[in-house]
Structure 1
């Protein structure tokens, strides 16, 4: 087995400095790392992690290593790797297989290399490891206690597998922990998506019509931040309750066939396929900017756009111009991949602190109890979620109210009324 596949191991020192900067903003994960160092709950556990290789991820990897885990890390997206971070991890003895800009063949070669450690636990951002194990490496399943999944897209995929009886080991949906979903998805995606768009284009948000496809936690965050910068936000949503919430939050809501005619900037965050497609591209304005912040690069149907174009040009980093046959130009950012990671740094460490605290504790749970779980998708236990929130508040110096004995009794009684 190889020790690493990298762009350049000599980038390690730069990566270590940036990892240390992120560590200082991740106090909850730091507390868990200290606990892991004492208790060694992952001793003898092989972990394959298919994650975005960022400074925040590096601190999760170090926490698991402190707990005794043997880890192999592969990238979960061809454009999300920070090459200096990958080098830093490899220099610390972590088997790391990730290069920014990999093609699809290289991407899966890296994941195949990571699987050679024969995992007991898998960590995923998008369920690619689980899919690969189930399709090509079923011999590994007998040794796997369980897995964890970090993304909405991956959880949707895994629940479909479980419903079909195709899931062969238990998985914890870390994405669905409230201290992940409500903060990472909303505040993290909102801020980092706009950061990526600004880095790629330097466009002004104020006064533009910004179409946000999807009004889950990620869409809420993106819409809120775009409005905060002066954008006129339109929400496209298929679920009636979420669409109604968007209306009540003060946004215009309409189908994409109408939004496509008026949008200056389009941001997809749905987790579904072909959210923007031929009939939408045909009516978009000249110089419309299109990007995606969902996990996979399927939300924008780029083959449809390519067929409508007479010429495709790379006009600057992370910006491709599709010159249409009728003279219009449509710009795609970051090849339709995660713009917040391809064109920026991803989520800030303060929110990933909670997400990766849940991830580390979920790995511990799988290591200890995975053999007793059924082949289903489980939520993070509420007591873990609450503990992460409490630790985050403590790190911020915030004290909250506590119930009196009388109040607690009232909330747990059916006999005490008016």
Structure 2
């Protein structure tokens, strides 16, 4: 392969493997959905003979998904989907597993990042599992011959689904992709509770600052923004929401948050957290208005939400003041602090651990059954973006409820008939 595996890059891979294996085993102990899926997959081997290429945040929870796919019979090649989110020890532990090759490494440059993606594709995958769409883009742009053999794939995150839908609308997406991000089991838990909890905890650990009494500006009030706003308010912060969509802005207002433009928010915010998935959310005109010591972080996908080039141009100096915190000093003496190079703060900050284990258990449970569905019923899905079949999402929810010892009611035949009929009156 053109790019070395993580084992070939590390000075002491055996020590890294031991550390990574502990992290994976801890995560697996707290992932009942993946445990159930793993038992089923190990018995049935539904992915026998398949090759799965993955571009994900390579940390302990992702490793559990990777191993379960391998236990289902697949050969798996994995790399990172963000230059700063890989845990090298976890990557090394994965690379030591039969049928898994890991190219993921932390702190790579752009050339290395894309070379690792290309190496996963040199395994000739039949299925792709993506977080952000980079694998799909690389196949369509640089490996079009794989379009003849890739039967389908899954996309994990909001940004990736947006990219895929844009491709689909232009008629450029040549194989079927499940929008895993859009299922209730992903959006209602991963995006809300996962992003909300992980982003705030990573910022707190990186800065050692309190949330209480601070004004936290949340850019975007989608599912991720809702989670961040709720968790920040729960830690006694004053929350301001900025939006471009009028109905979401009104929703934030009706849920008790102060809503204003970013230009207004820049004058009052202490901490700014972007969750939009778009670019240029915080730019020069906003930097000019921010107070001394403002903290800027991103919980979207790519590091384009905060215009770091413009901030660098405006600053008279920049320096690292804590691990993961870069201070930009302005001409008037104000200091603006950017976390994790503007990348995903919940994954790219030096102390970041990603979403809580229980949350990712649900998301990756959906991923696993979607890979199985794509392999077993690929002829059902034509090229384009597909919603995850609702019965698969419900299957994962039912496994989780059973693991938690929670029982719920069922509709009676009479209730089901009533709900499905137009003939019953009030």
Q: Does 2:9 align with 1:9?
A: no
What SS is found at the alignment partner of 2:54? strand
Contact kept in structure 2, 1:78 and 1:100, CA below 8 Å = yes
What SS is found at the alignment partner of 1:399? coil
Contact kept in structure 2, 1:3 and 1:95, CA below 8 Å = no
Please name the residue that 1:308 is paired with.
314
What SS is found at the alignment partner of 1:335? helix
Please name the residue that 1:206 is paired with.
212
Mark the runs of 5 or more structure 1 residues left unpaired by the alignment: none
Please name the residue that 1:267 is paired with.
273
2:147 to 130, 141, 155: 141
2:423 to 402, 415, 418: 415
Report matched runs for 1:177-326 at 5 Å.
177-326=183-332
2:367 to 359, 363, 371: 359
1:409 Cα deviation after fit: 2.1
Please name the residue that 1:34 is paired with.
39
Please name the residue that 1:172 is paired with.
178
Contact kept in structure 2, 1:361 and 1:384, CA below 8 Å = yes
What SS is found at the alignment partner of 2:240? strand
**Deviation >6 Å, runs of 4+:** none
1:25 Cα deviation after fit: 1.0
1:18 Cα deviation after fit: 1.1
1:372 Cα deviation after fit: 3.9
Q: Deviations over 1:86-127 (max 9, x none)?
A: 011011132001111111111111111111101101110000
Please name the residue that 2:406 is paired with.
398
1:167 Cα deviation after fit: 0.8
d(CA) in 1 for partners of 2:412, 2:76: 46
d(CA) in 1 for partners of 2:4, 2:31: 28
Mark the runs of 5 or more structure 2 residues left unpaired by the alignment: none
How many aligned positions are there? 418
What SS is found at the alignment partner of 1:290? strand
Contact kept in structure 2, 1:196 and 1:342, CA below 8 Å = no
2:50 to 45, 59, 70: 45
Q: Deviations over 1:321-340 (max 9, x none)?
A: 00111211100000000000
Q: Deviations over 1:109-165 (max 9, x none)?
A: 111111110110111000001111111111111111011100000000100000011
d(CA) in 1 for partners of 2:418, 2:160: 41
1:297 Cα deviation after fit: 0.6
Report the RMSD for the aligned CA atoms in angstroms.
1.1
d(CA) in 2 for partners of 1:416, 1:154: 43
d(CA) in 1 for partners of 2:67, 2:197: 26
d(CA) in 1 for partners of 2:149, 2:380: 14
2:105 to 67, 86, 99: 99
Please name the residue that 1:384 is paired with.
392
What SS is found at the alignment partner of 1:275? coil
TM, length-normalised to structure 2: 0.96
1:76 to 67, 72, 81: 81
d(CA) in 2 for partners of 1:137, 1:282: 44
1:3 Cα deviation after fit: 6.9
1:272 Cα deviation after fit: 0.3
Q: Single out whichever of 357-366 and 403-412 deviates more from structure 2.
A: 403-412
